Amino acid sequence: MEQQTAKNYRYPGVTPFTTGQASIFFGREGDTNDFYRLIRREPLVVLYGKSGLGKSSLLNAGIIPRCQQEGEYSPLIIRFGAWTEQANETPLSISKKVITKGFEAPTLLDRLLPDDTSLWSCAKNRQLNAINRDQGGRPLLLFDQFEELFSYPDVEVAAFQQELSELLHTGIPLRFRRRLESIDATEEEEDQLEAGLNARIVFAIRSDRMHLLDRLKDYLPNVLRHTFELKALTKKDAKDAILLPAQAEGDFQTPPFDYTPAALSHLINYLEDPQDQRIEGILLQMLCEHYERRQVEAQGTTLLDLPQIGDPKQVVKKYYDEKIENLPTGEQTAARRLIEDGLVSEGEAMRLSLHESYILHEFGVQKKMLEDLVDSRLLRSEPFLRGGYTYELSHDRLVPPVLQARSQRREVEAQLKAAQQAKELEAARKRLRTLRGLLAIAILAFVAAGYFAWDANQKKAEAEIAKTEALEQSEEAKKQKDRAEKALEDYQRENAAKERIKFNNLESRAITILDVGGCPKELLEEMQDIAGIHPDSLLLKDKLSSLRNKNPNCR
């Protein structure tokens, strides 16, 4: 079992439980027992459930420790990651690396077919190495986030299922049996070769990706025969998940503590889903981690009552704000715009999902920032079937604080924009006053020129000079007037261009929401205001009408 780090907390927060945290993995005892029994009975089992319910935690802190305790299976976690065009690994190569790591010593198989690197050969070679080391245990391959497989090209998926089928259903492949007849093998080696692998396979996959498993039926026709659904916690299990870690003895950062019945009831009431009366573990762990760090560790409280629990909604909002503030200063604004403007719908309080290519292009964020947001569990990444990842908020309970933060940010931005516009307008007015003053001077000069012309009879020579000067001043005044009028036109044209850019940005965001079936009423109203006064009013109104026609509810 993994060793706990020196600074260990009783709740992992929004990260999955690790094998080293098995001692504080409460609330899933029944699921662990039932799922382990199913694994023992069936060679291939599908573990499925909604995203965020704790499939990875069940494998890491439930099944793997049980295997280590019983000694019957040797569990291996395998993750493919989503396919990209730059990917150098395949599902097969990734699986083989995990299976063979630490078990590379030569065996009888290397004498039989040294160039055979099939999945069966890798698993059998591991078994033979384990026998020689007296480290028994049948291979248990735990494919976590198995939906990632289907982002790879079809040829890679087909190769994987074909070799996995051989691993599950073949005692000794015929190619090895034929070679066995032509070499000298000891009786013990032959017995070890004949010993069945009896491998066990687990596919852990999201409920909404279960249909993808149909693509494996060519070689794994019974892939969906034995399934195990992981549901959210019952109220009783949720209470265990809250209370028992707090009361556990061990090398923890905080001393044992407890919750009063009133505090526990208040917390459960917030967490409980009104539809099915169940509780999602990720939100429970997020809140409990906050209370352990902020109340028990920071304040020294060992009995949490209602004042310490406070309003869980504010805890979730604080979690969002703190995760944003933990980003580098230069990334915080971009992260807020991505989450608040791109990943939550304008009209309905719902999460949106965007592909990474769109995010990187439209929001100007870096790939590293997306990874940081996923690591902080603000965002969740999902493999896209045509490559890469899509991103969305990690939990529905984050939507209200995100909407609140968006409203506050937009209010501040509106104030700053109004102040900037006022400043620009005042500067334009100042320039206009200056130009008007120059125009007045020019007019006075023109009048003076008339006076000099009237006096021409007395001082003809001087009058001719004065007339020339007056005409020059008149010409300069006209130029000043033209420049003033042009400056005013430039200002009006620049303002119209800014409004057009704003209209285009609103149009782009509206299209995104309309494409997923939403109705961006606030965006369309703001676009209507711009179109009503813009020089290109007819063109903008035509665009607006086209957008409204995409969703009859927006007309």
- Tens digit of pLDDT for each residue in 321-340? 888 888 888 888 888 998 88
473 pLDDT tier (thresholds 50, 70, 90): confident
Q: Which range, of 96-105, 111-120, 354-363, averages the lowest pLDDT?
A: 354-363
Give the orientation angle of helix 537-550 with respect to helix 521-533, to 10 degrees. Answer: 160
CA 530: distance to chain centroid? 34
Q: How many CB atoms lie within 10 A of CB 378?
A: 24
Pairing relationship of beta strands 73-78 and 138-143 according to DSSP bridges: parallel
The phi and psi torsions of 421 (rounded to 5 degrees) equal: -65, -40
Pairing relationship of beta strands 227-229 and 44-49 according to DSSP bridges: parallel
Residue 368 pLDDT greater than 50, yes or no: yes
Q: pLDDT value at position 189?
A: 86
Amino acid at 215: R
Residue 119 pLDDT greater than 80, yes or no: yes
Locate 527 and state its tokens: 């676009």
The helix (H) or strand (E) run that includes residue 32 is: helix 29-41
> In 3D, which of 374, 372, 371 has the Cα closest to residue 327?
372
Amino acid at 384: F
Give the orientation angle of helix 119-132 with respect to helix 91-100, to 10 degrees. Answer: 10
Burial degree of 222 (CB within 10 A; 0-12, 13-18, 19+): exposed
The helix (H) or strand (E) run that includes residue 533 is: helix 521-533
Q: Which long-range contacts (CB under 8 A, 24 or more apart) does 323-326 make?
A: 323/373, 323/376, 323/377, 323/378, 324/378, 326/376
Q: Map residue 373 onto helix, strand or coil.
A: helix
d(CA 450, CA 73): 111
Q: What is the pLDDT of residues 2-13, one digit of tens each?
A: 444 456 899 998
What's the average model confidence in pLDDT over 375-393? Answer: 79
Residue 1 pLDDT greater than 60, yes or no: no
Q: pLDDT value at position 2?
A: 43
The phi and psi torsions of 543 (rounded to 5 degrees) equal: -60, -45
Q: Give me the percent of the chain exceeding a pLDDT of 90.
A: 41
Please answer whether residues 190 and 112 qualify as being in contact, where contact means their C-beta atoms are separated by less than 8 angstroms: no
Among 117-121, 313-317, 318-322, which range has the highest average pLDDT?
Answer: 117-121
Q: Map residue 79 onto helix, strand or coil.
A: coil
Q: How many CB atoms lie within 10 A of CB 439?
A: 17
Q: Tokens 């505090």 appear where?
A: 263
d(CA 240, CA 109): 49
Give the orientation angle of helix 329-336 with respect to helix 312-325, to 10 degrees. Answer: 130
Please answer whether residues 61 and 18 qualify as being in contact, where contact means their C-beta atoms are separated by less than 8 angstroms: yes
Q: What is the pLDDT of residues 237-282, one digit of tens each?
A: 999 999 999 999 988 999 999 999 999 999 999 999 888 899 999 8
463 pLDDT tier (thresholds 50, 70, 90): low
Q: pLDDT value at position 356?
A: 84
Q: pLDDT value at position 348?
A: 66
